[in-house]
Every structure is written in structure tokens, then in C-alpha cells.
Amino acid sequence: MMYDYLIVGAGLFGSIFAHEATARGKTCLVIDKRSHVGGNIYTEEVEGIQVHKYGAHIFHTSDQEIWDYINRFASFNHYVNAPVAIYGDELYNLPFNMNTFSKMWGIRTPWEAQKIIREQVAELHIGIPQNLEEQALSLVGTDIYEKLIKGYTEKQWGRPCRDLPAFIIKRLPMRFTFDNNYFNDRYQGIPIGGYTKIIDKLLQGSEVKLNTNYFDNASAYRDIAAKTVFTGMIDKFYQYQLGILEYRSLRFETELMACDNYQGNAVVNYTSREVPYTRVIEHKHFEFGCQPVSVITREYPSEWKRGDEPYYPINDDKNNSLCNQYKKMAESEKNIVFGGRLGAYQYYDMDKVIRAALETVKMEFGA
């Protein structure tokens, strides 16, 4: 055995584990099939702008311990996510709040908004919401659902809202105040200088091999270290023997713009079905950048098939139950630990990934 740990995946989960293991005197080899570290939080500098190569990444958490932990590796700016939604030629603030309601119905007070929503919901006679459509309709009523949720969600997930789990829409706050903050969390920001710097710091002390796919040489990798931490797809690890877990994929189209301010906001959502992309990100606004040019990225959702990048796990009942069967197989492994968004097949935000990685560290090394 050449190493104490082989870590498959130099994303956030793998890098945190590597950092904690090397801090305890363990030797780690970290491999990643991509040409860079960082996984989906990778940022790359273009014309002085930190470009989020795999879509907008805003750090937010209410977990004090995780906030203190990540601040050991970066300083965060005071960015607050306040996306704008475009539906046809109409423009609304997100998340759903008094600014949205006021624009939608020409009203001014919370009670007027509540009355309209209550009346719209009452007409629908929904009991306990059974899917995303019922959940959304019973929270915000028909107008908001039709203009700001239905089209966006169906193109994002590639299936009708009726066939999606309700929890997805509960990620968004809904409030009767004039507050456009997309998150309710206590802490929020963008790491100054980009996310890749955090990963570089976490990986100091580990050996890192890029452009290296575990599956190209799985049998050799099994013997290279006493233990493996695997952050790739759990179903692929088991050669899909129980079935295939479903994902949603994305295509990112990035463009350098010869203007200093393209859309006036970091995140603009396109909520109608006819526009093929869901979001346009203007990266410089994450950092209040003053560069003379700008970089934007259009995010196109796409169907996932084997071999494509698996960006979003589809955590409906069918997939969750298949994943539980894979997790049962994983429990009997003595020398392999699974983790991260793909290893755990969970729609995790970054703070949840850090929490899960630190829990894995605790299991391995004690408190």
C-alpha cells in the first residue's frame, strides 16, 4: 500500500477529507478525471473576473461551525444573492416577496398580496401537496406558479411539475416583506479571489493527479491505498448492477462581452418555457467588479445519459429507493467510504457537503 487514502474526486468533499486526513499525519493521493481541481465549485480568472465555470455558486449557511471552518480558507465578500426573473417582457424580483407581488398585481400591502394568494389557492382545492406542482400552487397561487415556476422548473428538470418531488420548491423562500435576499441563511458571500483558492489550500500536503479516471484502472487503484474515499457516482461504482440512477445535466455557454455591464445583476432567471436556457450569470457582479469588459454564462439544462456530466441528482421516490439499495451494498465495504453529491446521491449545497465531509472525518478518526 503506497498511501493511507486514495480520494477519488478533488471536489469540495474530497478536498476537505484530504485536508483533515493529512492534518492527522495520513498520506493521501487525490485523483480527478477533470483537468483541474475543485469539482463544480471551480473558478477560473478571465480578464480579472472570477468565472464560475460550472454555474453560479453562492456560499450560504446558518451553520456556525461550517461558516467558521470555511473562513479559515477564504475571506468572503458581502454579496447577497437577489436574482431577477424575466418572463416574456415582464421583469420580477426573486425570491417571491412583496416586490414580486407588487409588480404582479399592482398592490402595495402584505394583506392585499395574502388575500390574492389565498383566493387563488382556495379555488384549487388542494389537500396535502403530493408533488411540486401542488406544493407550489398551494404556496403562491396560480399567477406566480404559471409565470415564475412552471416553465423554469419543467425545463430545468425535463419533466412535468406533477412528476417532481415537492421539496425542490421549498428551497426558495417566500415572504411578505420587501426583501429580495434569495436565502434565509445567517451567513452568505463569495470567497474573494474565487473558490479554487480554497481547494488549493485544502489540498496542500496531498498528492494530486488530474486527468485520471478511477474507472480506467479500478483494480490497480483498489490496492494503492489502505482505504478509498469515493466521491464519484455510486451506481457507476457498482457497474449499475441494480439499475441506473437518474440525473439532470447542464450545458454552459460562456461569452466574453465587450461591455462593462451586460445585465445589471449577477443572476437573471428566464422563466418562460420558450427560452432554452434557465439562467444567465454575469460573473463580475459576484465581486462588484469594475473591469471594462464582462463575462456571461448561459445555463442550458439537458437530458442526462450515461457518459454525460451528472449535475443534479433527481431525488424522487424511485431514485431514492434505488440509491438506498446501493447504500446498503456500500455499508458492507470495509475499505471504501462514499461521499459528496454523487457518492451520496443528494442535492447538497456546499455547506451540507462540508458538514457531510466533516462527519465522515469524525467516523474515520474520531472527534
Query: Does 87 contact ligand UDP by CB under 6 A?
Result: no
Q: Which of residues 239-298 bind ligand UDP (CB under 6 A)?
A: 269, 271
Strand partners, 269: 85, 279
Q: Which is nearer to ligand FAD, 218 or 259 (CB)?
A: 218
Annotated catalytic residue: which of 279, 287, 326, 348? 279
- H/E segment holding residue 343: helix 340-343
Name the one residue in this structure whose C-alpha cell is 451520496: 344
What is the size of the binding site for ligand UDP (CB under 6 A)?
13
- H/E segment holding residue 92: strand 90-93
Query: Does 148 contact ligand UDP by CB under 6 A?
Result: yes
Residue 141 buriedness (CB in 10 A; 0-12 / 13-18 / 19+): buried
340-366 as b/e: b if 16+ CB within 10 A: bbbbbbbebbbbbbbbbbbebbeebee
Annotated catalytic residue: which of 108, 118, 162, 171? 171
Query: Does 12 contact ligand UDP by CB under 6 A?
Result: no
Q: Please give the backbone phi and psi of residue 234, each rounded to the nearest 5 degrees, phi first.
A: -65, -35
Q: Is 175 in the active site?
A: yes
Strand pairing category for 207-209 and 225-230: unpaired
Q: Is 341 in the active site?
A: no
Distance CA 54, CA 40 (A): 5
Q: Is 347 in the active site?
A: yes
| Cβ 139 to ligand UDP shortest distance, Å | 11
Q: Choose the contact partner of 199 out of ligand FAD, ligand UDP, none; CB within 5 to 8 A by kind.
A: none
Q: Choose the contact partner of 231 out of ligand FAD, ligand UDP, none; CB within 5 to 8 A by kind.
A: ligand FAD
Distance CA 159, CA 322 (A): 19
Q: Which is nearer to ligand FAD, 296 or 342 (CB)?
A: 342
Among 100, 153, 294, 297, which residue interacts with ligand UDP (rule: CB under 6 A)? 153
Q: Is 312 in the active site?
A: no
Distance CA 37, CA 10 (A): 5
Q: Choose the contact partner of 67 out of ligand FAD, ligand UDP, none; CB within 5 to 8 A by kind.
A: none
Distance CA 311, CA 313 (A): 7
**Residue ranges in contact with ligand FAD by CB under 6 A:** 8-14, 31-34, 39-41, 54-59, 213-215, 231-232, 250, 311, 340-342, 348-351, 353
Query: What residues are annotated to the active site?
Result: 171, 175, 248, 279, 299, 347, 349
Could you list the residues that contact ligand UDP (CB under 6 A)?
85, 94, 148-149, 152-153, 156, 168-169, 171-172, 269, 271
